[in-house]
Structure 1
Amino acid sequence: MRQAIADRARAEGFDTIGFTTPDAVPEAAARLTEAIAAGHHGSMAWMEETAERRGDPRVLWPEARSVIMLGVNYGPNENPLDGLEDRGAGLLSVYARGDDYHEVIKARLKAVGRWLAEETGCELKVFVDTAPLMEKPLAAAAGLGWQGKHTNLVARGFGSWLFLGAIMTTLDLPSDAPERDHCGSCSACLTICPTAAFPRPYALDARRCLSYLTIENKGPIPREFRKAMGNRIYGCDDCLAACPWNKFAQEGRNLKLAARDHLKRPALADLARLDDAAFRALFTRSPVKRIGRDRFLRNVLVAIGNSGDDSLAEVAADLLADAAPLVRGAAIWALSELAPQRLADGPPATEADPEVLAEWAAAGAMMTR
C-alpha cells in the first residue's frame, strides 16, 4: 500500500513522499510553547489560539493513525540573491512568483485522497499550510528532510525549495525513518539574515523577519528594518538561498508554480501606480493578492526609498495624497530618503491619521539635523 500511495502521489505531481505517525514529534509542542512565550509569533494571534491543536496532531484529529507527508519542488532557475542588486525592481519571494501553492497543492492532495479512500475505505483529511498542523517537523519525521538552523525544511535532493502537504488518515501505515540533521557547523543561513531574526540556531523571531514584516504585519514597516528591506517587496529568500545544500537542488517542473515573467523583477515605478483593480488583476491566482493593495504599496514605497533613484521621487510624491494612510505614511518615508525638500511644507491641514503625522514628524526631524 505504501508503494501504491507513493506511485499515485508522484503521478499527481508530487516529488517526494514519506510516512510517519501523529505522535512522531512529541517535542514540537514544547518548542511552540517556548516560541509563543517569547513573543516570537508577533501579531499572529492565531498561533497562540490554536497552540494545543498545532502542537499535537492527535488533538487536531484523534482518530488519525498515519500522516502521509508530500513535497513539491519549486526550485528557482536563478539565485534569488542576484535580484537584490537591481534596486529599481521589486523582489518577490520565489514561492510567490507563480500560482498560489495552496490551491495547486490542495487540488493534488484531494486527488490522491479520493483515490486512497476509494481503494481502502479509509477516512482522511488533507492539509496544506492552512490548518494548525506543524508540517515541517512532521516532514522531518517522515524522512523528507530536516529542519535547518533557519527553521525551514532542507532536503538533500531539493535544498530549501519544497512546498509541503499532508494527508492524515485512519490507515495504519509503517513509518519511514526520520532524516538526521546535516547542517553541521554551517551557519550561512543565520549570518546572511539582514535583520538578525534568528536569536539562536533553530529559532526564528518573526517580529524581525522580513517575510513576516512584509506579509503578516498590517501596520507600517518598523523604521529600524526599512533600510534592511532593500528592494524586497513580498517575503525574503535570503536564508533559504544561502543554504549550501541548494547545490543539489533542481529547478521546479510544475508550470503553474513557475515564476511568471512579469513577476520576476517588476519595475517599482509600475507597481507604485497600481490601483486596487489593477493590483488584483496583476496578482490573479497569486498569494500576493491576499495582503491587499495598500500593504503591497507600503512595501513598494519602502523599496523606492531604498532605491537611491531620484527619478522615483515623483512616483512617491504622487502617493502623498493616497486614500490609504498606510500608503501615505510610506510615501513620506520614501521621499525623506530621495527628495526630502519635497516635504518642506509639512503635512496638509487635512491630515489627521496619527501614524501618518508621526511619519511627517520623523521626516521633519531628519531634515533639521
Structure 2
Amino acid sequence: MVATDRELGAVREARFYAFRPAKPLACRLEEVHYVAPGDDARKDEVYAALLGRLSREMGKPQSSDPERPHGRGSGWAQVRGWNRGTSFLWLYRTTEAVEVFARHFLLEYGGGESFELPPSFLSFGHASNTWDAANLLWPYFPEASDLMLDRQAIPDQDAVLRAAITLFQSARRFSTMEMRGAVAIGLQVLLAKLWIEGETAPLLRPEYAALRRFDVKCESDGHGGGWECGTGLLDRFLGEYPHSRWSHRRYLESLGQECEGVGYTEVIEKGIPWLRRHRGSELEPFVTAAIAQAYETWWSLSLAPADEEFVTAAEHAAGAGRARELAIDWYHRLQQQYPESIEATLSGPRANQLQIGIDTAQRRYDCVIP
C-alpha cells in the first residue's frame, strides 16, 4: 500500500508492506521517499539544510559513497547515508530534485519474498560497534572516524597508521566507559585496516617502530606473506565491562557468520548462559535466533547424504533428533518473546519445516574449507 502527500512543492511517498500472506494483513511502514524539486539554487539550499539537520539528529554521515539500497540508486549524486538501529536513510541529489530515501532493515535485507536470515544478520555486532564508536570519536579524531567507516581498502596506509598512533596516544584522556570502549573499538578497527606484507615481523620494521610503544601484537595471517595486527586494549575493556553495550555486541560478533565463526556446539554452550546473564539486552533476539540456528544446523548435518563431500552424517547423529526439537522450541521462544523482531518474522517458515521433519539445509554453524 502506498500513501502520498504534498507540501510546499515537496512530495512524500510512504510505502506499507505486509510480509506474510496470512489474513488479516499486518502492514507496517517500511519505506519513505521525499522528493523536493527545484532549480540549482533551490536544490543547494535544501540539500545543505537537510544535511545539517540529519547530521545533528543522526550523527556524522558516511564520508565515502555509501552502498545504495537494493533496487535503487541510479542517477544519484552527493550521496550521504546513515543507519540507526534497524533503519537506513540516504540523502542525495538527482538532476531534478533533492531526495531523502529511508528503508527498514527487514525490507532492505529480507527482501519480502526471501525468508533467509539477512546476510548481515550476525555482522550486526561489529557494524554497530564500529558505527557508534566512529560517531563518538568524530569530535576529537575526525580522520580516524572517517577511516573507521571506510568500507573500501585504504590506499593511504600512512594515514591509517597515523590515526592509530594518535588514538593510542590519546587513550588515557578518556575516563568514561563509553569513550574508553569507543577508543578500544576504534583501535581494533584501524589496526585491522593495515596492509602489511613481507617476511619480517611488522614491529621489527622502522616504518612501524612507533607501534612498539603500545599494546600491539602482530601475527601471520596464515596465508603466507601477510600480517594481522591487533591490540589487547579491547580485550581488557571487555573483561572490565562485560555488561556494556560494546561487550554485548562484541559477543554477537564472536558468533561469526557462515565460514567465519564457531561451530554449532560452541554457539549452544556459550549462547544459552549468555542469555541468562544478560536479560534485557538489545541483542537477545539475535542470540536466541543464533541458538535456534545452531540446533537446526546440527540436525541438518545429521541428514547429509552419503555422497556429500566434507560432511559425514554419522558424526552428527548423536542427539540430532533432540536437536530438531530444541530448534523448534527456540524458534517458538523467539516468536513469542520478540514477535516484532526481524528474526522472528523470518523464522516462521523454518520452524514450520522443522515441525514436519523437512530438512531446511540451514548450516550456518558448520563450514568446512577443503
Same fold per TM (> 0.5)? no
TM-score norm. by structure 1 comes to 0.32
Between structures 1 and 2, the one with greater strand share: 2
Which protein, 1 or 2, shows the higher relative CO under an 8 Å CA cutoff with sep ≥ 6?
1
TM-score norm. by structure 2 comes to 0.32
